[in-house]
Amino acid sequence: MERYTKPAVLLHWLIALLIISAFGLGLTMVDIPGLTPTKLKYFSWHKWLGVTVLALVCVRLLWRLTHKAPAYPANMPGWQQSAAHGLHLGLYVLMFAIPVSGYFYSLAAGVPVVYLGVVPLPVLIAPNPEWKPLLKATHYWLNMTLLAAFALHVLAALKHQFIDRDNIFKRMLP
């Protein structure tokens, strides 16, 4: 059976790992009361993780746009193929939009991002108290949408593996 290419598989699992870490750290850090050194450290780590995801997602999008994904089995119903396509498209949009919203939120809050504490990243907008709450809410709700999309994605993979037994899941395994 046709499978995903090695770079596609590597990017899929690397990005998944980084997103799960950034998500967990994001929820953890906002719950720390006050403005402690630990909280500030977690914010920095969160931003570095997120910026890394953004860079990798750009590479992944380029790879995906220049390489065809393996075809679905012929007996997979059309609506399921369309649903899978739509969900994958949605996941790409979210994987891109979430770090971008976080990045602009940080800038609107007046905190430019210094990648790994070494490389100052472009300050694309000035601090903006009006946009700040909007961008914060955008970052939050995009994340909750990602959580729902991710749940569907995993459930679908499990259904293919254990109910349909059609080896779709194996195509993305290393």
Least separation, in Å, of the C-beta of 33 and ligand HEM? Answer: 12
Task: Please give the DSSP secondary-structure letter assigned to residue 169.
Answer: G
**Paired residues of 101 in beta bridges:** none
In angstroms, the CA 61 to CA 6 distance is: 15
Decide: is 135 part of the binding site for ligand HEM (CB under 6 A): no
Query: From CA 68, how far away is CA 102, in angstroms rounded?
Result: 30
**C-alpha 60, offset from chain centre:** 11
How many Cα atoms occupy the beta-carbon half-sphere of 154 within 13 Å?
7
Q: What tokens appear for 53 in the block? A: 């995801």
50, 56, 160, 168: residue in contact with ligand HEM (rule CB under 6 A) = 50
As beta bridge partners, residue 115 has 119
Residue 98 engages ligand HEM in binding (rule: CB under 6 A): yes
Site residue total, ligand HEM (CB under 6 A): 23
Identify residues 99-118 at the interface with ligand HEM (CB under 6 A). 99, 102-103, 105-106, 113
Alpha helices in 67-129 (DSSP H): 78-108
- Our CB check for ligand HEM shows the closer of 22 and 168 to be 22
- Identify which range of 16-24, 33-41, 61-69, 75-83 contacts ligand HEM by CB under 6 A: 16-24
Quote the CA–CA distance of 124 and 132 in Å, as a whole number: 14
Contact segment (CB under 6 A) with ligand HEM among 3-11, 77-85, 132-140, 152-160 equals: 132-140
**In this chain, which of 11, 46, 108, 138 binds ligand HEM, going by CB under 6 A?**
46
Task: Tell me if 119 contacts ligand HEM by CB under 6 A.
Answer: no
Does residue 143 belong to the site contacting ligand HEM (CB under 6 A)?
Answer: yes
